[in-house]
């Protein structure tokens, strides 16, 4: 890699064009990040402690929550530091590592959501054989396949990008090492390489989205044939949370990575990336918790347990402080 480039580090320009807003952005992003970590951790603990949630749907949901938490950890802490720091440089290996983990975990999220749609199809299409068709072993294999596929595609993207020559500007017009702002700095970025990167992006986003849509086409076909209105409502209600998350996730991701771009769109893409890297992980746990009664009950038990623990700690310390 060192033989192909004269650049050893990049400058993450980020929100430097809005110095008067950086303090406010830091507060908003910081509390959003804390909320993301707390809500996803609550979901993971609720699923772990509640035996009624030890089913494939919630196993896959816990995998998605953990993966989204890791995705935000790759981007947001660095973003918070840069909002308060004058030194916004990132080394070439650091930039490559950030891009690798972001796209790898992002691809993992996409394929986990595809696995979740297949799980919902299996539960509705063949409920009697559902425990046989979706065993813990199969769920684990789906999770590992999602992770490996995401990481392999991400590795191909990173190798393609960082084998380019960066010899002009080293300023990335973004708050993290995203694909388009980085390749715009390359001297030898050709149409062929552009098509390769577009193909990898389309494979993850369009490929996983097609798998999700195929599952939902079959789900709708099954639900429409149901005679009971209550049965139709119950079937759709089990899919509604997942479908909302899919629309949010693919709406933002598709707009950023699949539409034609030019250098004038970097600022727009950066603002849209805030919604994709901060808002989407913030909304997803809320959607799953607010629209799922079983999850609400489990989270209520977690909150009650935490409150009782702190009340016991306070009551034990109270005599010592008097």
Q: State yes or no: pLDDT of 180 exceeds 60.
A: yes
Tens of pLDDT, residue by residue over 292-314, are 777 777 777 777 777 776 777 77
For residue 8, which phi and psi values (nearest 5 degrees)?
-105, -15
* pLDDT, position 1: 46
Is pTM beyond 0.75 here? Answer: yes
- Say how far apart CA 166 and CA 184 lie, in whole Å: 9
* pLDDT, position 322: 45
Per the prediction, the chain carries an average pLDDT of: 85
pLDDT, average across residues 117-126: 89
Q: State yes or no: pLDDT of 321 exceeds 50.
A: no
Distances (CA, A) of 283 to 185, 205, 208, 275, 290: 33, 19, 21, 10, 10
Q: State yes or no: pLDDT of 222 exceeds 90.
A: no
Contact 144, 126 (CB under 8 A): no
In Å, how far from its chain's centre is CA 287?
14
- Domains detected in the chain: 2-321 (1.20.1070.10)
Lay out the sheet containing 89-91: strands in order across.
89-91, 9-12, 171-172
Distances (CA, A) of 54 to 43, 48, 73, 290: 13, 8, 27, 19
pLDDT, average across residues 82-101: 91
Contact 103, 70 (CB under 8 A): no
Tens of pLDDT, residue by residue over 40-79, are 998 898 888 888 888 888 899 899 999 999 999 999 999 9
Q: State yes or no: pLDDT of 317 exceeds 50.
A: yes
pLDDT, average across residues 259-288: 77
Across 155-159, 186-190, 269-273, the highest mean pLDDT is recorded for 155-159
Across 185-189, 269-273, 284-288, the highest mean pLDDT is recorded for 185-189
* pLDDT, position 169: 74
- Say how far apart CA 7 and CA 145 lie, in whole Å: 35
Q: Which residues contact 279 (CB under 8 A, 6 or more apart)?
A: 32, 252
pLDDT, average across residues 27-42: 92
DSSP string across 212-247: HHHHHHHHHHHHHT-S-HHHHHHHHHHHHHHHHHHH
- Say how far apart CA 272 and CA 83 lie, in whole Å: 17
- Say how far apart CA 19 and CA 210 lie, in whole Å: 42
Q: Which residues contact 275 (CB under 8 A, 6 or more apart)?
A: 252
pLDDT confidence of 264, banded at 50, 70, 90? low
Lowest mean pLDDT among 60-74, 223-237, 262-276: 262-276
276's torsion region: left (phi>0), alpha (psi -120 to 50) or beta? alpha
Q: State yes or no: pLDDT of 138 exceeds 90.
A: yes
> 321 in helix, strand or coil?
helix
* pLDDT, position 109: 94
Q: Where does residue 151 rank: exposed (0-12), middle (13-18), buried (19+ CB within 10 A)?
A: middle
- Say how far apart CA 48 and CA 40 lie, in whole Å: 12
Q: State yes or no: pLDDT of 3 exceeds 60.
A: no
The fraction of the chain above a pLDDT of 70, given in percent, is 93
């Amino acid at each position: 890699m060192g033989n192909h480039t004269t650049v050893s580090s990049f400058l993450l320009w980020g929100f430097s064009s809005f110095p008067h807003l950086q303090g406010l952005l830091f507060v908003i992003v910081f509390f959003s990040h804390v909320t993301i970590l707390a809500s996803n951790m609550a979901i993971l603990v609720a699923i772990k402690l509640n035996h009624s949630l030890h089913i494939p749907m919630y196993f896959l949901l816990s995998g998605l929550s953990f993966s989204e938490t890791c995705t935000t950890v790759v981007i947001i802490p660095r973003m918070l530091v840069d909002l308060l720091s004058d030194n916004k440089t990132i080394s070439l290996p650091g930039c490559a590592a950030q891009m690798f983990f972001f796209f790898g975990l992002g691809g993992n999220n996409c394929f986990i959501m595809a696995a979740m749609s297949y799980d919902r199809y299996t539960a509705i299409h063949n409920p009697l054989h559902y425990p046989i068709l979706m065993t813990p072993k199969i769920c684990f294999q789906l999770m590992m396949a999602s992770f490996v596929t995401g990481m392999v595609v991400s590795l191909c993207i990173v190798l393609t990008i960082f084998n380019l020559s960066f010899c002009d500007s080293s300023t990335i017009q973004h708050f993290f090492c995203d694909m388009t702002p980085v390749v715009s700095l390359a001297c030898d970025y050709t149409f062929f390489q552009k098509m390769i990167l577009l193909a990898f992006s389309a494979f993850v986003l369009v490929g996983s989205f097609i798998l999700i849509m195929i599952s939902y086409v079959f789900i709708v076909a099954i639900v429409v044939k149901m005679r009971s209105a209550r049965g139709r409502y119950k079937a759709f209600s089990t899919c509604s949370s997942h479908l909302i998350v899919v629309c949010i996730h693919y709406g933002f991701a598709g707009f950023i990575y699949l539409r034609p771009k030019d250098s004038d769109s970097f600022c727009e893409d950066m603002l849209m990336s805030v919604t994709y890297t901060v808002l989407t992980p913030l909304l997803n746990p809320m959607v799953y918790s607010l629209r799922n009664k079983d999850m609400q009950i489990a989270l209520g038990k977690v909150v009650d347990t935490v409150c009782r623990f702190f009340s016991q700690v306070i009551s034990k310390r109270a005599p010592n402080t008097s």
